[in-house]
Each structure stands twice: as structure tokens, then as C-alpha cells.
Structure 1
Amino acid sequence: MTLFEEINSDIKIAMKSKDKEALAILRIVKALLQNEEIAKGSKLNSDEELTVLSREVKQRKEALTEFEKAGRQDLIAQAQNALDIVSKYLPTQLSDEELETLIQNAIDTSGATSMKDFGKVMGIVMPQTKGKADGQKVNALVKQLIS
């Protein structure tokens, strides 16, 4: 079952259970995927679907952070619920140990010795972690392990 079909199925379930909040979020995600398909002019592959979902999760996390800074308790719960729903469609996130191993392998492969080689390492690591790890977390770990 493709991601698009899975979301359609979950939309039907949300409609039947009258879960208006989940329904609204799922419809937004479906619309984002459809808009990306229209922009591309063809069906999205799984990597492109992950990119769209990762972008949405990142935006939801940023919104949650802003709501917390502003002390908006009413919006924090809503944003957290939306984040949980969208995150459900992403692959299992890599643990810190797995991520460090992956980065260390990339450092060894590229022969990186200083921060000048940061781009080489990131170029190797990011395609392998797509949708499985937060880019900022990867960035921080690469900087830590290179220096």
C-alpha cells in the first residue's frame, strides 16, 4: 500500500469515527502530496513522499516551539496532536547510536579530517537518513564527530 493510499484509508477511518481534528490534518497532508504531484507532473516516488512529509513535520515542530515560547497552551496540544498524526507516516527514526555509526562510517569513507570536509560528510549521510533523522540533529552530530 502506498503512502497516498494509506492516508486515504485513514481519512475514511477518521470520517467514520467522526475525528474532525485528525480528518483535517490528514486532508492537509493529502493535499500537500497532491500539490507536489501536480508540480512535478507525475506520480511521486517514496523518497519524494518522504520529503513532503519531512517538510511538514519540520514545520509542525517549529510551530510547536513557537507556541511554547508564547505560552499558548491551547495551541500546544493541538500542534502536538497534528505532529503525532503526521509523524506516524514517517519511517522509524534512527537512534543516536545508529546515527553516530552512520556518520562515523561517512567520515571514514570520505577521509574527512576537519570542518573543511563537512560538506562531503553531509553529502554522504543525508541521503541515508532521509525521513529517518532530523537534519539539525545530523548536522550537530557531524560537527561534533569531525572536530
Structure 2
Amino acid sequence: MAEFSIKEKITEDMKVAMRAKEKQRLGVIRLIQAAIKQREVDERISLDDTQVIVVLDKMLKQRRDSIEQYEKAKRQDLVDQEAFEIQVIKTYLPQPLTETELANLITHAIQATGATTVKDLGKVMGILKVQVQGRAEMKQVSDQIKQRLNQ
């Protein structure tokens, strides 16, 4: 059987969730589809897997930010909902990078750009963004690069 694209997998999972009457999961899948569709309509394109990963990454970041706000407001019910959505969204992303893989990518990017100070962060991030998209949190990557360049 041929490998499904991420969009096809999302559609299949939506059908499964509908049949299984998994309302909460179905709601999240529909949010994902709406975000993808919105970008396709706005840009008049059909998204490929790489672009879908960018959309999913953005959704994850929004949910992490929301969790922070909800925790400050002591709204555990909303924190739980956002955490559930994060888990569903993550199922469509590629396997996360290990610490070692990420460290190696950062090392190669720093060497490739000749970065020596934190002022060079943008150059390093430019190379890494494509390689780690959907596989690592960009804030975490940025923090690790800063740490390396400050040594």
C-alpha cells in the first residue's frame, strides 16, 4: 500500500473518529483540517507535507502559549483540552529529533555559517529551520544555539 500524505492521513483519521464517535478527537482533527484549508485558500495553493508540517507546528506553538496563559489563570479544564489537542497534532508530525541528533545539526549549522557570536543566530537558524521543522521546538533550538555561541 502506498504511503499516505499527511493530509490523506488526517482525512482517514477523521473518518475513523467519526465512526468511533470520538467527539473530542474529531474536533481537533477538524481544527487541523480547517487550518490547512485556510492556508490553501489564502495562498491559492495545495499544501504538500512540508507545508502541512509548518501549519501543524504553528498550531502546536499556539497551544503551548495557550497552556501558559491558562495555567496562570488557573483553568485546568482548558489546560487539559489544549494538552489533548497537542497530543493529537503531534501524531501527524515526523519523529522528533533526539538530543544527539539536534546537537549534531546545530554543530554542523554553526560550522557551515562560521557563526561565532549570538549576532550570528539568524544565519544558523536559517539553515536549521528547514531541517528541524516539526521535529523540534524552535525556541529550544534557538536557546541551544545561543548557549553554544555564548561559550
1:122-146 deviation per Cα after TM superposition (whole angstroms, max 9, x unaligned): 1111111111111100110010011
* 2:138 aligned residue: 135
TM value normalised by structure 2: 0.92
Letter in 1 for 2:54: T
* 1:81 aligned residue: 84
1:103 aligns with 2:106: yes
State the percentage of identical aligned residues: 36
1:82-111 deviation per Cα after TM superposition (whole angstroms, max 9, x unaligned): 110111111111122211111111111111
Task: Indicate the RMSD between aligned Cα atoms, in angstroms.
Answer: 1.1
* 1:114 aligned residue: 117
Instruction: Return the alpha-carbon distance in structure 2 between the equivalents of residues 77 and 116 of structure 1.
Output: 38
* 1:34 aligned residue: 37
* 2:64 aligned residue: 61
* 2:53 aligned residue: 50
1:14 aligns with 2:10: no
Give how far 1:64 is off.
Answer: 1.4
Give how far 1:42 is off.
Answer: 2.0
Give how far 1:117 is off.
Answer: 1.8
Instruction: Return the alpha-carbon distance in structure 1 between the equivalents of residues 134 and 44 of structure 2.
Output: 23
Q: Where in structure 2 are there 5+ consecutive unaligned residues?
A: none
1:124 aligns with 2:127: yes
Letter in 2 for 1:110: T
The alignment covers a number of residue pairs equal to: 147
Instruction: Return the alpha-carbon distance in structure 1 between the equivalents of residues 38 and 50 of structure 2.
Output: 16
TM value normalised by structure 1: 0.94
Instruction: Return the alpha-carbon distance in structure 2 between the equivalents of residues 23 and 116 of structure 1.
Output: 44
